[in-house]
């Protein structure tokens, strides 16, 4: 057994102890964290100089920095991953909740698309039956077509905050109409 292997085997529990401190906050990455800690312990054993410091002090900092680097990478690149089992609507805790997989259709259905367009036209007709100013009608119709507030502002020659206020006002009017006020 070489000198590096002996140092590694003598300090392997330190690597597991450091990895264990991350288990509560990162349970899904725990096995990866253990491997990273062991890898960095091995690198420390290969570059260790007993004249400069103790191995435990040197490797502790080295392993923690390696783990933190990995976790920053995971957070940056994988935080936007979404599972198809992510609950979207949870009315009751005991009942089955609506998941993202339930909402997203498997294939395109022409009849559903036609039905959605008919419903959109009904909504548009309902919206115009409420008293809306010309600006509100214009902004609302552009928003229903899928334009962003920024693009609506460019089309109507208004600033984005003004478009946002108009949309809030329209929303308030619709809410009041539905509630019967």
Residues 68 and 117 grouped into a single domain: no
> Where is the domain boundary, 78, 99, 124?
78
Whether 83 is covered by a domain: the verdict is no
Closest CA to 39 of 18, 15, 58: 15
Whether 99 is covered by a domain: the verdict is no
The CATH number covering residue 137 comes to: 1.10.10
Whether 119 is covered by a domain: the verdict is yes
Per the DSSP assignment, residues forming a β-bridge with 87 are: 99
pLDDT, greater one: 114 or 152: 152
Tens of pLDDT, residue by residue over 113-132, are 666 666 666 666 666 666 77
Neighbours of 151 (CB within 10 A): 15
pLDDT band at 25 (very low <50, low <70, confident <90, very high): confident
Mean pLDDT of the chain: 79
Tens of pLDDT, residue by residue over 67-125, are 999 988 877 666 566 666 666 655 555 456 666 666 665 555 555 666 666 666 666 66
Range of the domain at 169: 110-179
Closest CA to 35 of 18, 55, 58: 18
**String of DSSP letters for the chain:** --HHHHHHHHTHHHHHHHHHTTTTT-STTHHHHHHHHHHHHHHHHHH--TTT--HHHHHHHHHHHHHHHHHHHHHHHHTT---TT-EEE-S-SSSPPEEHHHHS-SS--HHHHHHHHHHHHHHHHHHHHS---HHHHHHHHHHHTT--HHHHHHHHT--HHHHHHHHHHHHHHHHHHHHT-
> Where is the domain boundary, 31, 59, 78?
78
Whether 88 is covered by a domain: the verdict is no
Whether 102 is covered by a domain: the verdict is no
> Where is the domain boundary, 62, 78, 94?
78
Tell me the C-alpha distance between 122 and 124, whole Å: 5
């Amino acid at each position: 057994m070489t000198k590096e292997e002996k140092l590694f085997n003598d300090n392997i529990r330190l690597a597991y102890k450091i990895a264990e401190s991350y288990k509560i906050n990162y349970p899904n990455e725990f096995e990866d964290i253990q491997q990273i800690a062991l890898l960095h312990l091995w690198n420390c054993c290969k570059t260790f100089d007993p004249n400069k410091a103790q191995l435990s002090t040197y490797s502790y900092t080295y392993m923690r920095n390696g783990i933190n680097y990995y976790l920053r990478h995971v957070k940056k690149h994988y935080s936007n991953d979404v599972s198809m089992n992510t609950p979207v609507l949870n009315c009751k805790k005991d009942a089955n909740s609506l998941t993202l997989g339930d909402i997203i259709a498997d294939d395109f259905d022409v009849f559903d698309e036609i039905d959605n367009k008919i419903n959109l036209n009904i909504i548009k007709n309902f919206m115009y039956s409420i008293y809306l100013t010309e600006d509100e009608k214009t902004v609302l119709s552009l928003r229903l077509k899928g334009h962003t507030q920024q693009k609506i502002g460019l089309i109507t020659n208004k600033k984005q905050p003004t478009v946002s206020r108009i949309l809030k006002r329209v929303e308030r009017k619709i809410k009041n109409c539905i509630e019967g006020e």
